[in-house]
Every structure is written in structure tokens, then in C-alpha cells.
Structure 1
Amino acid sequence: MNTPLFLCLALLTPATLAGGPTLVIQEGDPAPGTPGDLVRSLGAPFTNGLGQVGFTGSLEGEDGIEHFVWFNDGVVWRSSDGAPFTLSGAESTMGISDDGDFIYSPSTDGDDSVWTSAGLLLREPDPAPGFPGQFISFTSRPQMTAGGAATFIGGVSTVMGGSTSTRVLFRVGDEGPEPVFATGDAVGKFTIDTPSGVDFDYHFSDNGRHHIHVLVMDAPSTADAFIYVDGRLVARESEPTGDGDLWSAFDNVSINDAGDYLFTGNTDGAIGPDEFIAHNGVIVLREGTDVDGVPLTGGSLRAVSLNNLGQAVHLWGVTSGDEYLFIGTASDLAATSTRLLGTGDEIDTDGDGTPDAEVVDFNASGVIGPGLSLAEDGRVFVEVDLLPLEGGEEREAILRLDIGTRCPADLDSSGDVGFTDLVSVLAAWGPCAGCPQDFDEDGIVGFTDLLTVLASWGPCRG
């Protein structure tokens, strides 16, 4: 969850984005960290607190096809690293920490499982932590905070190999996975509905102190969906939105270190303005709104992410079939959102200053995970499909958008540039490609980067 960029927004014109987005990797490219294996597929990107990126995907090389985990600038884990287990597949949802740890969900010898950088964490049908005499029936939607706290959704069965009777949000502690809550648990005056009331849409803040979740409660079906935030139920299906209609459904969620949060969904209002983004329970953007010259007519919200600076990125599809990515101040998205990228935009993938590919699709989807992840250093990463302008087949790709930040030298996102930021630069001194301390992006943390910190010393200024 974060946001980085050094791209001037004025350059992001609807027609051409040459010199804007940076290609991280695309289908068919040799993957860094491998002996030349080629990328076959890519998953959704996720950032840590430093704006570094992680994602899963698949490779093809001399040894055949296998899946991988990417961290920052290359492949750090391959499914063959799990030997003697046979690993296959990988959910698109994953997570990385500031220290380079990761969590993801492959199949292990054909069974659902969760792995971290430390090895196998849990698999079907292991004994279910916190549920004596019961067994894991599935694992899904792994995430990790910047500090390294790992979470995932798991199913529990009363018999080995049986169907799911309880769905659980697990958090990984010092002793291994432990339940945060499960279906059948009480929250306020309601009980989480069995067997699947713990929804797959959830998020923890970078500091791990705040948690937002879509829950389905044991209540009438027209009023059983809720938004849970830090132990409270803050919104309920069929109750007033405060904007003239009623909450009807909830989808994507995001929360930051201050406990501010976003959630999306639909109201019972007229079709056209019924899809929304709400900030701290107040609707701040609706379908049908004109955003930076783009009418969200027939708008369908694909994904949303909130960072610790109070900025949000949001991705919409419209009636024409086009899709658009925006960034704005989370508390006032309708008035402040700026278009970053859209289908039909032409981009430069090889750095020669000339567009060579067209964005034809965004692959972010809140259905299979958060879909977007915005960091504080001015970068957002997106998974797209690109069509070469000279002809050829579409390719999956991960792009980095450098959108600028109010204070790049504020490495700890404290609002001030000070001693901890100086120490961070000194600790990273030397070759360090892709490091947030490398402000001039020359691949080395050195004297000019140190000068950036000293020139920015004190409170961040706009």
C-alpha cells in the first residue's frame, strides 16, 4: 500500500505517454535473477513501505515451466526452490515486506498451501491452528505488511479432506498462524455468518495496527453485508449512506497507518450513480462523475488503494470499454483526481523516447485481490496488456508510474526529513539499483542523494 512517482502530471496527456510509465518486465522478456528464462505470465503487483514491488508469475526455460516470486528488481524465488515438494501455480495475491520477505499461495503436491520466504507455512489438510481436531481445507488471499506481518484466509473442515465448515482470517505470529476471527464469531451484536461470512476482501495497514474487512453477518439477506474497521461495524447494507440513498453492496477496501480507510461498492440509487468510493464512511466519488475530462459513464470500479499520505489511486472501466487509472486526495477524489493512464495510451517501453506499445487492457481486479497498491514514494505499479505498435501479439506487462511525491527524501513517511532519513541513505550507500534512497536514479546511493536529504531537511513543504 503506497504511492511513488517523479513523472510530471502535465506530461500525462490522453494520447501519448512516451517518457512516462517505465516498463518493469513483460511477457517474453528474460527474467532477471534467472539464467535467461522467459516470462510467460504475470500477476498483480504489490508494494511495500519503501515503494519496492513484488508479484508472482510463471517462467519457461530449459527445465520447463515454473512459477516465481519477484522482489524489487528480479526473481528471488522459483517453484523448484521448494524441493523436495512439488510446487505449481500461484495466486495473483501476495505480499512483500520492507526487508524483502514475501508470502504467496502455490499448490504443494497438488494441495492448497501458503509459503513465505522462510518456507512452507501451512497446507491442506494440515491441522487447523486454533481449531483442535479440525483441518485446513483451503488457503487463499495472502498479504504482508511493510513490517513483515503475514495474513491469509483459510478454510477449516471437521474432517480431513472434507468441505469447508468455517472460514478464518489467519495472522502469522511468532508461533505460526493464529486466528484473527472466524465465521461464528461475534462482532458487536452480530455473528459472522457460517460458512463463508469472512469475505476475501480485506486489508491491513503498513504498520499492522489497522484492519478493514468486508463481512457477511447472520442477518436478513437484504442487510447482512458490513464494513468492519478495527473492531467496529462502520457501514451496513440497507442503511443510509448519508448521501440520499442506502448502502447496497461492498467490494474493495484499503486502510492506512492513520486508520483512514476507503471502501467501494454500490448503493440502491438509480443505475448510473450507484457505484461509489467512500472515505471514512463518506461517499467521495460516484459513477457518472466527470473526472479530469473522463466521464465515468456506466462506470465500473476495478480497484482502489490508499497510501499513508492520504492519496488514493482508483481504476475504472466505462461504457465504451475503455479503462482509466486516476490519483487524487482520498478525502476529495471527485475534485482532485488526475488521470494517470488509460487504454489507448501509447508508451515507450525501451527508453528511446519514442512510443512503441499501446495499453489495451488493465488486469487489476478487486475480485482476485486488492488489484492496486500505492506507495508513499511516488510510484504505483500496474499490470496491463500491451500491443506493439509495429504489430504482433498482446503481451502482459508490469508498468511503474512515477507520479511524484511531495517529499521524496522523507523515507520514513514521518512528514519531516530528518535523522532517520539520513541514516537510511548512509545505510544504503553504494550500488543500489531501484532503492528509494537513490533519488537521482543512477543506480548508486551516493553524494548527490545525500545532498537531496540535506536540502530537504525539516518539515516537508507541499
Structure 2
Amino acid sequence: MKRVNVAAATVTLLAWASSSFAANQAIPLIRENEVAPGSAGEIATSLDSVTTNGVGGYAIQVNLSASGDAIWGSVSGGAPGVMRSEMQIGALLQTTFEFTIGLADNGSLCYAPTTNLLDPNGRVAVSGLDALYLNDTLVLNEGDNVTGIFDPNWCSTFNSRPNITNSGIPYWIGGAASVCGAATGNRALLAGNPPVSLFQGGDNIGGVGLPANTSTIDFDTKMSANGTHYISLVFAAGAPVANDNVMIIDGSAISANGGLLREGDAVPLASGGLAGELWSAFDSMNVTESGEYFVTGDTNAAVAVDEFVVKNGAIILREGDSIGGNIISGSIETGAMNESGDWAVTWDFGTPETLILNGRELLTEGALMDWNGDGVLDANDRTAPGDVRPATLVDFSGLAPAMAIGERDADGLVTVYFTADVDFQNTTSTTDDREALWAIRTHPCPGDLTGDGAIDLSDLAGMLAAFGTSSGGAGYTLIADLDMSGTIDLADLAGLLSVFGTTCLGF
């Protein structure tokens, strides 16, 4: 991630927000070194990864000054608070939480604490066990017998990247060994309670004709909202090193325009490939219940054009493309997609990093941030009167996944959640920065009232039909209120006309 030192107090706001879409403003939900809302006065000393569910909820793994590692958030978008913290359950004492977590629609939490096994006198008998929990229920612990999941009498060696579907199915990456205490001999995508293996080393990769090797199953693996599909990156045993990475959905290689999403395979021209271009590496991913999928990565093309976003087999955005007059140049830091197919990435415009939603610039490093959460960007967005400047975004931060997208709400809007550092002293040092979990509620495709991804005459007609209405009145619709002012007026019409004839990517 790249930092930005903006010498002047005046900073550049995102291009489209400087016109009619200025209401798309990030608000802080929890701030580093301040009291965590809904806690018993505890200070949030650090923030990690964020997740969402399908009913407006969100959660983030944090460290609290008294409780230690905890999960903080809201099940359905209401008042947030501490959802879980380290505790003793039975003979197992939880010590730390892994940075990723999962939140289901019913509020169930999937998380992976390190545990210590206590003897009857409360002393540590065995320390550092890698466990997987669903709420208060231990699903699997390091050392447990995993006969029926792996080979007979194998032992669990690790449980990592906990997650959960919206419908409440826990899933994670688990490892096992033939002898307890030995090094991991195989790993798998595990799901459910009791757990079953959905895919593991030795399973055949459909469409490739080779089994997956035993160090397979990427940690970025995702399942769809109800668990119908999963998407993963696996490694083909016996394949050349330059051709062994394979993207799969439900155990079979992903086919796109006559080719496979496989390292070393040609990027089809119909997928947006360049002459002689080959797939090289794959990073963030997700899949929906309907089978739509999203993948980021890079190819063997020139460094100025190799990074990409793929949706449903097509490169919809790549390095070297322009957004709002800015050229994309650099690596994708993190990416996400919701069940509605809305996708977002944090990507570089050369030096500043940018949050992109459905191919539109949403927020860029260097922007002023509403640190005090009063809805106004002003001189009050400081931690102390002596701060050199108001809160200024300098880094999209956190451990991946450091960004998540909620589902479209009843108004057709989406909320993007992300962790980011802000600077108050106008220095290049990171030690004086402060981190927060931020949320932006926004139009998934500003100006697209019909939801087809294109801003055209049907959207203009919808805008004119709602023109002059206000919130609470007949005919008012928030999807047409582009600046979210509560009234559909000339500012909204101007906003639609400014993007008329354009499309959002991936619809």
C-alpha cells in the first residue's frame, strides 16, 4: 500500500464526488485509540478484517484494552457493540482470534481462536491449539481426530480463515496430518458442523484431468450466500510450475470463452485478452448463488497492463485503463463482491490508492475524512486543537479482507466497509496516523435508476418522473436522489446528465 503526503491542507476529493455525488461520504464506525461504541468503556487498540452479512450487518475483529481480541459490529446495521471476546468455554481458554471472521444473517459468528487446554486445577496442560468455533460451540480443534474428513485416524493440524455463509454454514481452510503433532500433510475446504470436506488435496480437478496437490486450497476461498457454490484457487499435482494454478468453482476448473482460468493458459481474445497474453496469478475471489464470479490477479502482459478484474469470464477492468481521467497503475490490494454482483477493489492511480466500486472511483487517498462523524468535512475533524490539518486519508489499511460490500438495501443502495488510516500532522510517518473502520452508503451505479448498468433514456425518464419530489412524499425514490439531499432536484438531474451514455462495469 502506498502513502500520500499532501503538502497543502486542501486535498483532492474523488472526481465524481466533486460534482453531484458529494453525499457519498465515509463515516467512521469505530476508531483506533478511542472508546469502542457499545463497549464497557474499552479502547479499540487495533483493527483487523471486516465482514458483512446479507441483512445490513457488519463485523470486524478488533483488540480491546481490557478484553483482548474481540469481534465488534452489528447484526443488522443497528447500534453496534462487542459481539464476542476471548473467554473460557469448558476446559478451553481462548487467547487470541485469527484476523478473519464470518457473520451470518442470524447473527451467528464463525471465528478461529488460539486455545489453551486447562487441567482440572485451571493450569495450562496444552497451549496454542488452533480451533474453529461457531458461537460458543467448538467445531474442530487442533489434535482432534478427523477420520471421515481426511484419511482414517488423521489429526487436525490447523483451522484458518473462518467464514460463514449468510444462511449460517461455517466454512474454513483446515489441515491434517497422519500423526498428531506432525507437519500438515493435506489441507481442505471444510464446511458445516460437524465438518465435511468440500475439496481437498488428492481430489480430481474437473476439466483438468489432474488431482489437486496436498498443499492446495487457497486461503481466499469463498462460498456463496447459501452455500450452493464455492470458488477457490488450487494447484494441480504433476503440472509444470508455470501451469499449476487453477481457479475452480465447485471442484471444476472455471471455463471462460473456450479457455480455462489457469496459470499459463491463453487469455481468450473474447475475454479481453491481448495477443500472446497468458493468465499468471489469481488473488481475490467470490461467487454468488446464481454462479456469477469475480476474480482479481495478473497476467504475463507488460507490467503497465497486467493486473486485472475478471467477472464471469471477461476482463472488465485492467491496469492501464482510465477512470475519471486517471490511469490505473499498480497492484490491486484487495477485492470483494456481494451477492448482487456489485464488486469493489482498492487499486492504485500511480501513487494514490483508490477505492473503486463497479468501475467508478469512490474514494482516493488524499481525501478529507469525516473523523468526528458529524456529516460535515471541516476543521473539526481533528483529534486535538494542535493537529496540523483535518483528517486526511493516507492509506487503505488492514489485513485482507480489509474491505467488504453489504447487500443492496431496500432503497437499492450498497454500503462499502473498509479500514483506512488518516493523518493529522501532514507527515510521512505512519506512527502518528489513526485507523478507523469506515462505511460509505452509496448508489451502486450512480444515475442507473433501472439497475441494468447503463445510464440511458430509461433512467432519464425515471429521474424526470420523480423530479421535484422529497423524502416521504409520493413518487420519491432514493435511487434517483443522487446527492441524497432528500429532494430530487436540479443537482440530481445534473449528476445523471454528467454520466449519461456511460456504463458501470460488470452488470
Aligned partner of residue 346 in structure 1, secondary structure: coil
- Whole-Å Cα distance in 1 between the matches of residues 40 and 250 of structure 2? 46
- Structure 2 partner of 1:379: 415
Q: Equivalents in 2 of 1:265, 1:187: separation in Å?
A: 20
Question: What displacement does 1:165 show?
Answer: 0.4
| Residues 16-58 of structure 1: per-residue CA shift (max 9 Å, x gap) | 9798111100111212343111111111111101121111111
Task: Work out whether residues 105 and 139 of structure 1, in 8 Å CA contact, stay in contact via their aligned partners in 2.
Answer: yes
2:457 aligns to what? none
SS at match of 1:222: helix
AA paired with 1:230?
D
Q: 1:363 pairs with 389, 397, 411, which one?
A: 397
Relative distance call for 1:199 and 1:192 in structure 2 (3 A) is farther
Considering fraction of residues, name the structure with more strand: 1
5 Å matches for 1:26-425? 26-61=31-66, 66-72=68-74, 73-80=80-87, 82=89, 84-109=91-116, 110-128=128-146, 130-131=149-150, 132-173=152-193, 176-188=194-206, 189-218=208-237, 219-234=239-254, 235-242=261-268, 243-244=273-274, 245-297=277-329, 299-320=330-351, 322-328=352-358, 337-352=359-374, 353=376, 354=378, 355=381, 356-364=390-398, 366=400, 369=401, 371-377=403-409, 378-388=414-424, 393-404=432-443
Residues 240 and 26 (structure 1), Cα distance of their counterparts in 2 relative to 1, 3 Å cut: same
Residue 229 (structure 1) shift: 1.4
1:139·1:152 contact (CA, 8 Å) conserved in 2? yes
Between the aligned partners of 1:361 and 1:278, the Cα distance in structure 2 is 25
Give 1:152 shift: 0.3
Contact 1:143 1:150 in 2 (8 A): yes
Shift of 1:202: 1.1
Higher relative contact order (CA 8 A, sep 6+): 1
Given that 1:266 and 1:276 are in contact with CA atoms closer than 8 Å, whether structure 2 keeps it comes out as yes
Answer yes or no: is the 8 Å Cα contact 2:232–2:285 preserved in 1.
yes
Check 1:350–1:390 CA distance in 2 against 1; reply closer, same or farther (3 A cut): farther
Give the letter aligned to residue 443 of structure 2.
G
Radius of gyration: which is bigger? Answer: 2
**Superposed CA RMSD:** 3.0
Once residues 270 and 318 of structure 1 are traced to their aligned partners in structure 2, the CA distance between those partners, rounded to angstroms, is 17
Tell me the SS of whatever aligns to 1:199: coil
Deviation per CA, 1:151-206: give whole Å up to 9, x if none.
Answer: 00011001111100001110014xx1111111011122434443212221211111
CA contact (8 A) 2:35 2:41 kept: yes
CA distance in 1, matches of 2:445, 2:296: 27
Comparing 214-223 and 380-389, the one that deviates more: 380-389
Unmatched runs of 5 consecutive residues or more in structure 1:
1-8, 329-336, 408-412, 414-447, 457-461
The answer as to whether partners of 2:357 and 2:444 remain within 8 angstroms in 1 is: no
**TM-score, scaled to structure 2:** 0.71
Q: Secondary structure at the match of 1:54?
A: strand
2:455 match: none
Cα shift at 1:396: 1.9
Q: 1:405 to 1:327 in 2, by over 3 A?
A: closer
Relative to structure 1, is the Cα distance of residues 292 and 270 closer, same or farther in structure 2, using a 3 angstrom cutoff?
Answer: same
Q: 1:370 to 1:134 in 2, by over 3 A?
A: farther
Aligned-partner residue type, residue 63 of structure 2: S
